[in-house]
A and B are shown apart, each in its own frame.
Chain A
Amino acid sequence: MESKLVSKIKFWFFVILVVASLAINNFFFFLAINIAALFFFKKEERGSITYLRKPKFLFSIALITALPIIFAYGNTQEFYSTIEMIGKILLRGFLLLQTMAILINRLDKNKILNYFNKKFPDFNENLTDTISALNKFKEIFVETRKRMSTKVLVKKLISNPVRFFEKFLARLWEEYSKQ
C-alpha cells in the first residue's frame, strides 16, 4: 500500500501536468499525459467518471467527431487539420474527464458537511429535516401514482395547470405540516 505522502505527490504532480498540458495545448503532450494517467492511478481512482460508459455520450462524441472527418474527406489539406483538431479535442476531453474522476474520488463529503456545520450552526439539523421531508414527498408521489395513472395526471395538468399545482402543493403542505 502506498503511503499518503506518495499519493499526495502523485496527485499534485498530475494536476500540475494537466495545467501545463492545457497551457501548451499540444496533441503529443495530451497523448503523453493520457498514457501517463493510466499508469499513475489505480483503476478505482479513475473509476468515478461514468460518462465514458454511457452509450449516449459515446454516440454524441462519435457523431461530432465523425461528421467533420466525413465532410473533410477528399480535401487533403483540410482532412489532416481536421484529424489533428479532433485528436486534440478527444485527448483533452479524456484527460480532463480523468482528472475530474480523480478529483471526485478524493472529494470527502464529510469535510463539506463539517464546513457548512461550522458556518451555519443549525445546518445539520436542517439537512436532516430536508431529507425526511424529501422522503415524505416521495411517499406521497408513489401513493398518488398508485391511485392515478400518468395519463390522468397529465390530463389534469393540461386542463387546468393552476388548479393542479394548487391542489398538489396544498396536499404536500398539509402532509408536511402533520410531521
Chain B
Amino acid sequence: MERNKRNILIFFAGLWAFVEVSLGTVLSLSKVPFRGMLMASFACFILISFRVLNHTPRSSIYLATIVSVVKLIFSFGAGALNSAIAIFIEGLIAEIIFSLIRVNLFSSILAGALVVLYPFFHSLFTQTVIFGVDIFKLYNRILSELQQILKINNTIGVLELILFFSILYLLIGSIVGASSFWFSKNVLTRIIHYGKQARQ
C-alpha cells in the first residue's frame, strides 16, 4: 500500500476506533436514546471523508474491518460483538455504494442515509431474533392502550412508528452525508494534504 494512503487509512481507523471505544462504550452503558444514530453519523463522516481522500476499491470495507477487530479487542461481551458486526455492515454499505457510484455529493447523501438508517434496522432485527415477532404485538397492545388512556382518536401502530422513524433516520443521514462530503472536500483535504488549517 502507498505510504500516504496507508497514513490516511491508519488516521481514520484510529479516529473511528477511538470514538467507538470511548464514546460508544459510554453511550452503550448510559442507554441514551438514539445512540445508534449518533454513532452511525460519526461512522458516516469517517467513511465518506476517507473515501474522498482515498478512493481505492475495497478500502471502506478494509477500514471497517480494522475498526471492528479493534472494537472486539477492546470491549467485552455480547455488546462488543453486536457493535463489531454493526461497524462491519456500515463499512459494507459504504463500500457497495462507492463501488457502484464514484464519490460525489449524490453518492455521499445515499451512503449517509443508508449508513445512519442501518442501526435502526439492526436494533429491530436483533429484537425480532431475540424476542420473536410477538414483541411487536406487545408494543402494539401498549401503544393502543396508551392512546385509549390519552383519548387519542387516530390510532398509530408499530408499523407507522417504524415508517416515521425510518424517514427521520433517512433525512438525518442525508444531511450528515451531504455535510460530511462538503467538509471533507473543503476542509479535510487541505488539512491532510497541506498539514494546516484551511482558513489560515
Contact = CB atoms under 8 A, between A and B. Distances in A.
Interface of A: 25, 48-51, 56, 64-65, 67-68, 71-72, 82, 85-86, 88-89, 92-93, 96-97, 100-101, 104, 107, 109, 112-113, 116, 120, 122-123, 126-127, 129-134, 136-138, 141, 162-163, 165-167, 169-170, 172-174, 176-177
Nearest to A100: B78
A169 B138 contact: no
Given A85-B138, A89-B138, A120 B62 contact: yes
B65 A116 contact: yes
B188 A169 contact: yes
A170 B199 contact: no
B9 interface: yes
A170 B15 CA distance: 13
Contacts of B81: 100, 104, 107
B132 A177 contact: no
B195 A174 contact: yes
Contacts of A85: 134, 137-138
Contacts of B37: none
- Looking at chain B, what size class is its interface with the partner chain? 35 or more
25 contacts: A49-B78, A50-B78, A64-B139, A68-B138, A86-B138, A88-B134, A93-B131, A97-B78, A101-B78, A112-B69, A112-B72, A123-B65, A127-B70, A131-B70, A165-B183, A167-B197, A169-B187, A169-B188, A169-B191, A170-B191, A172-B15, A173-B191, A173-B195, A176-B10, A177-B195
Interface of B: 1, 6-7, 9-11, 13-15, 17-18, 21-22, 31, 62, 65-67, 69-70, 72-73, 76-79, 81, 129-132, 134-135, 137-139, 141-142, 145, 183, 187-188, 191-192, 195-199
B14 A56 contact: no
A116 B112 CA distance: 27
B182 to A, nearest CB: 9
Nearest to B140: A68
Contacts of B15: 133, 137, 172
A129 B69 CA distance: 13
Contacts of B145: 67-68, 71
B17 A126 contact: no
B69 A113 contact: yes
A138 to B, nearest CB: 6
B10 to A, nearest CB: 5
Nearest to A163: B199
B130 A97 contact: yes
A67 B69 CA distance: 40
Contacts of A137: 14-15, 18
B66 A126 contact: yes
